[in-house]
Structure 1
Amino acid sequence: MGKRDDLIAKYAEDLQNKCGMTPDMDLLTKVTIGCGPAIYDADASVVAGSQPSELETVKNNFLIKKLGLADGPELMDAIDAVIETYGRSERSKYRAVVYYMLVKQFGKEGVYA
């Protein structure tokens, strides 16, 4: 197994243990690949859930640009719900896990088909 496979396994474990979800491994793999080299960078691989600027970046670069959603208050509500599900006190909120949950929440799995 390569480094990416190890990370995907770690993300799947987070989804199961911290978020109470059974991950769709195919989709999780595609979302992880979609994150690009960011998954290997200690800072870029996590989402700082308490930083408004970071949440804006997730909204603009992922929800609007990648998933093609229209801007509106429901986008921040969804990000907030995902952060809540992951656990606000959880220090390492992996970007791939947050993105995966957002894809599921908005039913945008087709983006990765």
Structure 2
Amino acid sequence: MQNAPASIQKINENDLKTYLKNVDSIFQSISHRQLGRLFSMRDSYKFVDQLEEKALSSLTEEQQLKEKLTLLISYTKQLKEQVAKEISLKKCQNRRINIMGEINTL
């Protein structure tokens, strides 16, 4: 420490700890995952192409799942009507049956 410049010799332990905390926080923000992706996007066109392919595949998968969901909802509604008819005929002397619950929110 004696050979160090005067500006460094003036620094006390508390100042050094503060500097270390600041450097750590800057390092954490730089090494953050999202910022790393941005740097990769800036530096590599391959990385951007991979992200684009991944986004497109996610969109197509979402569309396929939405189609399946609408199909399942229609099948569920048909099944609800069939169950209501069967219960009405077999157990309730042909009276109208109203099935209640979350199935009606579809």
TM-score range, shorter chain: under 0.3
TM-score by length of 2: 0.22
Bigger fraction of residues in helix: 2
TM-score by length of 1: 0.21
